[in-house]
Chain A
């Protein structure tokens, strides 16, 4: 593989400092900015990104060019407009944005300049979770270098375009990553999602046009502008375009994160990159894209990890960071851990989520400790419906139901055993280990 096959991570040193500005510029860094500000209109940048078929890497997969097309443009557009970088990465099992933030902050800054120019935003906020201290340090240093080199600030390269970038360090809570809750968090208001419409593109931060974009999404932009939409489309293996940062955690030989053509199969990621299962453990199932995605099992190993293929088997690409369930770990315990997370992180704004998730957590706790009743299975099933898409104010509760729903399908006999045997059949194994 060459750097051109791994545009986002090719310059990242896994055990060294991120490329400095001069190192990056020697390898073509920021060249796209000079070219763009020299002779591309914002509309041309938008068109190139639309043609690239880039889809958001933050979990929902919304086409990036289309997202931008809703932003009011022209002299009459409300000002200022904002770009918000979502670096909150708190989905259980996700650790891909960390690599890009720590390993190559200049690439992100270049992506920020492109997105900001395309929608004519003059302010950008990078919203980073507190736990990513080393990301903040790397970003601060890169921002300083970029400002000193005149890559950020006033009238960039004589184009009349101004851009100010500021890092906002958050202080925890998963809901801050939801794009409209994030806007409330940035404004210092109660952190609950906002009603849509109006969409942030029209009425976002302080009521102004705003786009919220994931770190990985933005890191694709310099390469799209440099090499063109056609090149970018060719990078993908199936219907989707580009590369994707895939990751695997759990009992595999080499947990990690790799940049691969989007559409790489589950099997190739698990076996060739993660090195297969650890000695003494067998594959049972996995969540392909973080804690809020439905389980895949052995029969799905040859499915391509892209947006459509995964939804056709009842799951989601999500963040592309897989969590593997092995044969020596209890699936009920696994889901209990997830639902504890979702119940704890509910913002409490709408009733099904606020009251339903703790109920789900209690039922799973009862099953796990031997107090489950047969009728609990029906109550769990009912939650899958009542907390599903369209019934709550944001996607948090539906996300929480995806692993539960698929667990009830794939591991029904394991749930039943917890009831019949009055406890967790795995517990004795776990303590023996």
Chain B
């Protein structure tokens, strides 16, 4: 299966070039494998079995070995996620400053709890360890941008402008 034409052709030329560039910085293939997954995930949202096989094949390591890394890192997604990913800090400084209130607000606005994806596929909410923004607690990261400190009201506005875009 892993050598068949189909899985190899899944990656675009651009993705392959980017992966090759990344691999060139390490003496072994394994070392670049996690970044190879991240390159693909950034474009595809998540790593399906087919993509995993294609990346393993292109990098030249065993799929099982690549999947060990893929399933170890919490920010490599082996299940579908929404178009947007909201990381809610669940560590102590944000907890002290009211992170639970933000989580409840997300639940009531989007109808989903931490670890879930909205039915329309727009957004996934995930708990995350300390985002390193404790002076801006409570903080969330929406896609690649950090926001904080946030009140429930400010969170509403952010969701409207970044995630829901008028869907509510």
What residues of chain A have their CB less than 8 Å away from a CB belonging to chain B?
89-95, 97-98, 129-134, 166, 168-174, 185-191, 206, 247, 249-251, 255-257, 291, 321, 323-326, 329, 333-334, 337-338, 340-341, 344-345
Known: A166-B25, A250-B96. 14 other contacts (CB 8 A): A89-B132, A90-B132, A93-B92, A171-B34, A171-B75, A173-B72, A173-B74, A187-B28, A188-B28, A191-B72, A247-B134, A249-B137, A255-B134, A291-B130
Give A21 Cβ to nearest chain B Cβ, in Å: 22
Contact-residue bracket for chain B: 35 or more
B-side residues, CB < 8 A to A, are 25, 27-35, 37-38, 61, 68-69, 72-76, 87, 90-93, 95-97, 128-137, 141, 144-146
Closest to B74 in A: A172
A256 contact from B35, B90, B97, B135, Cβ within 8 A: B135
Instruction: Assess the B73–A131 pair: CB atoms within 8 A.
Output: no
Residues of A within 8 A of B130 (CB): 90-94, 291, 341
Q: How far is the CB of A173 from chain B (nearest CB, A)?
A: 6
Shortest Cβ gap from B66 to chain A (Å)? 9
Contacts of A185 in B (CB 8 A): 34
Given B34, B61, B97, which contacts A250 in the complex, CB threshold below 8 Å?
B97
Nearest CB to that of B141 among chain A residues? Answer: A131
Out of A95, A133, A186, A340, name the residue touching B144 (CB < 8 Å): A133
Please determine whether A187 and B31 come into contact, CB atoms closer than 8 angstroms: yes
Taking chain B's interface residues, is the majority helix, strand, or loop, or is none over half, making it mixed? mixed
Query: Which residue in A169, A188, A249 is a CB contact (below 8 Å) of B69?
Result: A188
Per CB-CB distance, the 8 closest pairs between chain A and chain B, nearest first, are A188-B30, A249-B134, A171-B73, A92-B91, A172-B74, A249-B93, A255-B135, A172-B75
Q: Which residues of B contact A173 (CB under 8 A)?
A: 72-74
**Chain A positions within 8 Å of B145 at CB level:** 133
Q: List chain A residues, Cβ under 8 A from B38.
A: 130, 169, 171
Inter-chain contact B34/A188, CB cutoff 8 Å:
yes
Q: Contacts A247-B135, A249-B135, A341-B91; is A329 near B28 (CB within 8 Å)?
A: no
Contacts of B32 in A (CB 8 A): 188
Is B92 in contact with A334, judged by CB distance below 8 angstroms?
A: yes
B106 to chain A, nearest CB (A): 18
A93-B95 in contact (CB<8A): no
* Smallest beta-carbon distance B75→chain A, Å: 4
B132 contact from A95, A256, A341, Cβ within 8 A? A95
Asked if residues B135 and A337 are in contact (CB atoms below 8 Å), the reply is: no
Task: Decide: A251 and B93 in contact? CB cutoff 8 A.
Answer: no
Q: A319 to nearest B CB, angstroms? A: 11
**Chain A proximity of B23: nearest CB distance (Å):** 11
Task: Across the interface, name the chain B residue whose C-beta is closest to A333.
Answer: B95
Q: Closest approach, in angstroms, between the C-beta of A84 and any C-beta of chain B? A: 12
